[in-house]
Structure 1
């Protein structure tokens, strides 16, 4: 088939080729340009996987093989295996239990947050709090001495704290299991609809998700649970949905405060969909769950909790957050106090605009909720004074989740009754 005709015939596969090629180029650049050992391992593995996926997609485009869906899913599986499972397996296998963390990133077997979360789990078991006391931090603490997570995040470090230093007890394995488990449960609750390939590419296969899972994983576990919370909150006909969604959001917020926008979006959506009672049940469950998870730790050392969880992430702690990025908020903040103030004004203005959008057009479906959350987190990542480029995994992956949820809505909405009142089979959802 001539190339020009192939390009006109199947735009979805053309986009597959582009996505895998760009992902492969990013992986090659990471392999050669990153100072982090884990990133370079990921880049070497992922570049091969994405190249193979791009070649498979190009072959499909040129030949017009009738097994279109199967080939597209094969390409996605090859890319995911080489970009996620292979580097993750290598990195947890070569991790030395005696490795000492320091200013030598060229030998890091993972990013520091993995070790920090595992350390927090051991501290929680030993001292009743995952946070180093203020006296231990000292006047100018090392940023890696901080634990900028809520107490629920320590659950991912418990396998290593309880069962010792093994490859399978690495916190990244727990992050992967929770991420995939949350997505699988979400898919089941949705009625196991057809999954668009594009949704899988953005949510699971893409380089932001794959790299994060290989070297860290905490953000990916959070976004997987955000998707599950949105699906649970907007299950039609389930009276207990606000209760379970509130409890899920309590776990999310006490893992990482990044999840706060998701809880706000779900609260507004439930108020619009189920009225005041639904919102009240959600907020009550959220408050009760958060209290149950935070208060025991807070009572042990309230000062340490405030320093680690509240002050440090926003740059108000004894040590500034090392988070940096080429995004507008961070660049403005780097120009001085006036730039920092301007970045905060822009961030607040964006928050006000999104809040107005939520009030005027509240989300009434899981797809709407996930889409609004992606928008809010994307704006926050671009405009926050302290942020990382890797946080882009949130909006990108959540856009993929929104594609899946919208495909499910289209499938369900097309099942119209026939003249006898019996529902007819819905047409298949396009896999683009």
Structure 2
């Protein structure tokens, strides 16, 4: 059997990836004042043992006002940096998986309740709320705050907050930074004509709407160590007439590549409550394919990728270079193990779990598993 494309090693700048499976950032809404808690140690710890090639920390706010909810993770002061450092120290004790962090600012979608308490907007004077900002004074939806439109000083402040967070990530030894320009958050708000109503040099034409996201990218790229990876996550369409579409995002992707972007993660939606998304298996893969046809940098596909054969086809046909797992890997934290078994590949696993390999019990059970699990790194080995 030919070696599966899904399990071929890959390089992004100096980042060595053991296979083509990455863990996408997934908000946990379990931080206290921006600080990671024991939940993050449990959550990230189990995913670090999944066999994926890269683990991405959830959307991490670059300022308190940039959080989606009051329970979001931040990386904007010494306390949030120290809390993340404690979690990373524990994870790294047992796993060598490279770790990335997604840096984000929620813009007009900030100041909301946690999802399991309804997820609705919170007023600026709510004990758990604050005043939100955006490119323009246009609310996300009925009932949401009308944001304060960022002036030049406000934009400079936000840019510098992204830079400061990137420097903190570098101090923590994080291998890669991803800028969140998707799902209706601040950088996406600048890109989309549905949210960006500015009449200055940051609004109107696509060139103008790209200007601030590119300024943020340039500043972060200059601040993060040159040998480490900086990528961007985009929504390739708003799924709303008159909104951002894949042709505009292809132009943005080309600009990012010209500015030194190392990879682009292609998602969609999140900007407008009227979006009409044709959800189905791999529904965003055509968007990734369109971006990949236009750029040379690596492209990540995401969205209802649930089956090993499906993931293998995406990589083998060249629709994307990497696939990202989110809800799929929450449901099955050992999905890469099972994909390796299904495709006849190898996956790393910790020594403590090797007895789960059916081949080691063939004499007892008369079965032999198709997956070969290599011992993973353990202290003292």
| TM-score after normalising by structure 2 | 0.28
Task: Report the structure, 1 or 2, having the larger strand content.
Answer: 2
Q: Which has the larger radius of gyration?
A: 1
| TM-score after normalising by structure 1 | 0.25
